[in-house]
Chain A
Amino acid sequence: MTDDYIKHQYEPILPKKDEWPVVKLSKSRKAFIQQVVTSSVRNIKGLTGNQLQAIKEGLEVTLFRERMRIKQNSWAVDPEDEEEFWAEVKASLLAMDADQQLDDQKKKAKYFEVLTRITSRYAEEIASNFKHSHYKLTRRLVSFGFSRLLNTSRVKGFKSIFSNQYRLQDKIQIIGETDQIRDLASKGTIVMVPTHFSNLDSILIGWTISTLGLPPFIYGAGLNLFNIGIFAYFMNALGAYKVDRRKKNQIYLETLKTYSREAIQFGCHSLFFPGGTRSRSGNIESKVKLGLLSTAIEAQRSNYQKGNDENGKVFIVPVTINYHFVLEAPSLIKEHLDYTGQERYYSESDEFSTSYKISKFLVKFFTKGSDISVSIGKAMDILGNYVDSEGNSRDAHGRSIDCKDYFMLDGKVNVDLQREEEYSKKLGTRIVEEFHKINRVFSSHIVAFTAFRLLKKENNKLDLFSLLRLPEEDLYLPYDTFKGACSRVLERIKQLREEGAVHMAPHLNTDLEQIIQHGLQNVGMYHAKRPLRKNDEGNIVTEDISLLYYYHNRLDGYELEKII
């Protein structure tokens, strides 16, 4: 893949909306939910070994947790009748305990009846509410609004508001394997796995997908985002289904996974943030959550089981989103440090808590010159082998691999959950590797990394937390020292680029002085306290060392610290 971004108009690969899998899914929403319920109940039956006692316990634990949640942590988005519903579940369970007449067989049937009720409720809650008219409107709003703002700020003068000189694609650059993902979208099902740094990511990815001419993807969005009116509208329009992180009970998790798996099997392109939540530390994800990822593998196996070899292939496409600036950085890094430093329980706080704050950020983002790029990685099969433009898996020597063989035992496709768990781990590792390869280095990453490492080296007797507690007034770096170290880091990054281990933004091809200046200007540019700047004496100083640490983390994992 080249470092240059691709700016051209992509024709939609499926011009008629009725052909979009997500539209098909929403048309058969009711039947689909029913299928999810049936399948979840069957899975839970399997997981409990169909044992009366285990099923009973599962139901009781779920009931207990749900009642606790309602009492201690209720949200605006929660339905009115929650308390009532769970009270009924309780009543049914109690009635069964009291009834001496029932034999085990009948009891079991009753428990399954309750289980089905709960799963139905969950499935209904999770299911996405895609409406094509909303989708169209949102897409227009986003593109129109964004490019108006953009042109107003960049092209000076009275007529600027009508200018089309700058398009969104100049601001948000899409690079990488754009043609491949378009090719594959009609040959199988895409599961896109992006890095996750900001709440803005979902909208950004939604825009990217539509710009590439792909039909909308469905994805799991945190239920907390649906608390805010404007987000709920956007999310529903983009085909989001709801993930409630408060619900950790087995029945909910099973229903959620089943929903995801059935949707992939249905042919819906999907989006997972494999890190689970936004990266708190600013690091690229080094570990991924295997729960949802395993649904891609299960869906693939299931397609092979059903003999759906033709269009049933699942393609994993890693994506990185590269920023100079992450709006939520100050609170994210604070949470991260609180958590790792003191093992203290932390609660999720939301900078995007009001529509006003979001709008303010968007205006800032589009009126000031901070670029974002989205790197589309090479598509892989469910074991992390690259696939060619035809969708065939290839080994390291270019030989074709039949993916079905990964699920074969004695000449037949069989179900082996332990095997699939190992495959998920392997896929997770491959995704992390690819993230590092397609990650695009910006000037701001280099200056932040270099400055923090130099400060760390100067105070090498201090552990991380003591270093972060030093008063910022005492910390400064002579410019020449800083420049020298930046130069070494830049050289090493160029070398890594040659080896294919990372990507570089084109603005790194100018001279060092310019790169440093560009980096200092852009790193965390909208924060009240700047992570890095040059003071009047010409020294490099920081106003917030935790933030500097956050932006530095972006280049962690490339062993660059060894050369500072």
Chain B
Amino acid sequence: MDMNWKKSSENKPVGVIGIGSFGTAISNLLAEKNNVLVYARDEAVVKAINETHMVKNRKLAESIRATTDPEMICDSCDVMFPMIPSAAFREVMIRFAPFLHPYHFLIHGTKGLSLSLPEGKDLGNIKKIRRKNISTMSEVILEETVVERIGCLAGPNLAKELLENQPGATVIASRYNEVIREGQRLLRSDNFQVYGNSDIVGVELSGVLKNIIAIASGALSGLGLGDNAKGLLISRGMVELVYLGKAMGGSTQSFLGLAGVGDLVTTCNSTLSRNFTLGYRLAKGEKLTDIVADMEEVAEGVNTVKLINLFLESTDLRAPIAENLHKVLFEDLKVENALQNLMKIPIYTDIDFFD
């Protein structure tokens, strides 16, 4: 590997932590204009990247290098993009923490939630959780590291389409303008538009909560229902998303942006989406455990539904889609019956979240 990277501050490489499908797509986008250094835990993966420029049948740009050493990547890069599933996110941040400094920028692309319970408690012995027990990924970074300048990537970014270099866009959300600027500088290209938003928690929640609706949308398709039903689901799902998101600290505006409605519409219509696929297969009668077992990467929506339902227990909020989906996923309710439940709910106001 070219060790001069470490020395010159002019051309420091950009780090990517985790090399799943989205991590691969972002690495390739970044590699158009920058040196890219990838961190992966698995020696074999790192070797494959450095020697054959491939990760799990996906092609990586030839300039991209990889390492298994957290210290080395932290020393070499000022800006890093963690692209790790939410279940492993905290653990990876703990591993990186000793090597991270306040001058680092971290821009993550994980659309999930992390649970932080008091000692001695776990999902098995707890009935409800409060907002302070749920962390978005930026909150995990704040909890576990000294990095302050944090951003998140969100929006309709189906990895497969990005890898094919189709036109697309993303939102970089951060409380710090300098992080947004840096993200735009690194990612912007003729085929890729980058928007900025200062409401990072709102943008993170958009990406997280839309997965619930995506599963439901897949289920409707699985039942063979048509576009009226989907239109109904998406718009009611939107309302639910706004209410939940506001209760958890996001602002309404963010849910109406690219990361909110943009991502929602995309995922609810796409067979490329893992969450959508999971819903689809559920409706076809497959068991959740079987579906999860043979998916290559996690569908974040499943964990989100679980956490959101526990959170609802501690509030006066109702979120009918999430509640019924929870019953389908974990209490053996049939998709058809869940749909009937939803159709019986006596809500007659279309939009009331602007009041």
Contacts and interface: CB of A to CB of B under 8 A. Distances in A.
A418 interface: yes
Interface stretch (A146-154, A224-232, A395-403): A395-403
Given A397-B97, A401-B146, A411-B9, A406 B178 contact: no
Given A395-B97, A416-B177, 14 more contacts: A385-B146, A395-B146, A396-B143, A397-B97, A399-B97, A405-B103, A406-B103, A406-B148, A408-B102, A409-B103, A409-B178, A411-B78, A419-B177, A422-B176
Contact of B175 (A383, A396, A416, A422): A422
A410 interface: yes
B178 A405 contact: no
Nearest to B174: A422
B98 A405 contact: no
A399 B98 contact: yes
B102 A406 contact: yes
B102 A401 contact: yes
Interface string A405-439: 11011110000101100110010000000000000
A397 B94 CA distance: 10
Interface in A161-212: none
B175 A402 contact: no
Contacts of A406: 102-103, 148
A405 B178 CA distance: 15
Interface string B86-104: 0000000000011001110
B80 to A, nearest CB: 15
A418 B179 CA distance: 11
A397 B98 CA distance: 9
A-B pairs, 8 with minimum CB distance: A405-B102, A408-B103, A405-B103, A406-B102, A411-B9, A405-B101, A418-B177, A395-B146
Contacts of A401: 101-102, 146
Nearest to A410: B9
A402 B102 contact: yes
Nearest to A394: B146
Interface of A: 383, 385, 395-397, 399, 401-403, 405-406, 408-411, 416, 418-419, 422-423, 426
Contacts of B78: 410-411
A410 to B, nearest CB: 6
A28 B178 CA distance: 38
B101 to A, nearest CB: 5
Interface in B40-82: 78
Contacts of B102: 383, 401-403, 405-406, 408
A383 B148 contact: yes
B116 to A, nearest CB: 13
A419 B9 CA distance: 22
A416 B97 contact: no
Q: How large is the interface on B (under 10, 10 to 19, 20 to 34, 35 or more residues)?
A: 10 to 19
B94 to A, nearest CB: 9
A425 to B, nearest CB: 8
Nearest to A425: B175
A419 B146 contact: no
A405 B105 CA distance: 11
A403 B102 CA distance: 8
Interface of B: 9, 78, 97-98, 101-103, 143, 145-146, 148-149, 175-178
27 contacts: A383-B148, A385-B146, A395-B97, A395-B145, A396-B143, A399-B97, A399-B98, A399-B146, A401-B101, A402-B102, A405-B103, A406-B103, A408-B102, A408-B103, A410-B9, A410-B78, A416-B177, A416-B178, A418-B176, A418-B177, A418-B178, A419-B176, A419-B177, A422-B175, A422-B176, A423-B148, A426-B148
Contacts of B97: 395, 397, 399
A402 to B, nearest CB: 7
B15 to A, nearest CB: 15
A408 B97 CA distance: 18
Contacts of B149: 419
Contacts of A419: 149, 176-178
Contacts of B103: 405-406, 408-409, 411
A470 to B, nearest CB: 28
Contacts of A395: 97, 145-146
A328 to B, nearest CB: 35
A387 to B, nearest CB: 13
Contacts of A385: 146
A368 to B, nearest CB: 42
Contacts of A405: 101-103
B5 to A, nearest CB: 14
Contacts of A426: 148
B53 to A, nearest CB: 29
A305 to B, nearest CB: 15
Contacts of B177: 416, 418-419
A558 to B, nearest CB: 14
A294 to B, nearest CB: 15
Contacts of A399: 97-98, 146
A396 B143 CA distance: 8
Contacts of B146: 385, 395, 399, 401
A405 B143 CA distance: 18
A290 to B, nearest CB: 14
Best-buried of A409, A423, A426 by chain B (most CB within 10 Å): A409
Nearest to A426: B148
Contacts of A410: 9, 78
A399 B100 CA distance: 11
Nearest to B104: A405
A409 B182 CA distance: 10
A548 to B, nearest CB: 29
Contact of A402 (B101, B143, B145): B101
Contacts of A409: 103, 178
A399 B178 CA distance: 26
A301 B260 CA distance: 37
B92 to A, nearest CB: 16
Contacts of B101: 401-402, 405
A420 to B, nearest CB: 10
Nearest to A417: B177
Contacts of B143: 396
A460 to B, nearest CB: 16
A423 B98 CA distance: 22
A405 B103 CA distance: 5
Nearest to B98: A399
Contacts of A397: 97
A416 B148 CA distance: 14
Nearest to B94: A397
Contacts of B145: 395
A515 to B, nearest CB: 29
Contacts of A418: 176-178
A9 B175 CA distance: 47
Contacts of B98: 399
Contacts of A396: 143
A208 B103 CA distance: 38
Contacts of B175: 422
Contacts of B178: 409, 416, 418-419
A94 B164 CA distance: 66
A299 to B, nearest CB: 18
A405 B104 CA distance: 8
A94 to B, nearest CB: 40
Contacts of A408: 102-103
Nearest to A395: B146
A482 to B, nearest CB: 30
Nearest to B144: A396
A379 B18 CA distance: 38
A225 to B, nearest CB: 37
A450 to B, nearest CB: 25
A406 B102 CA distance: 5
A115 B97 CA distance: 49
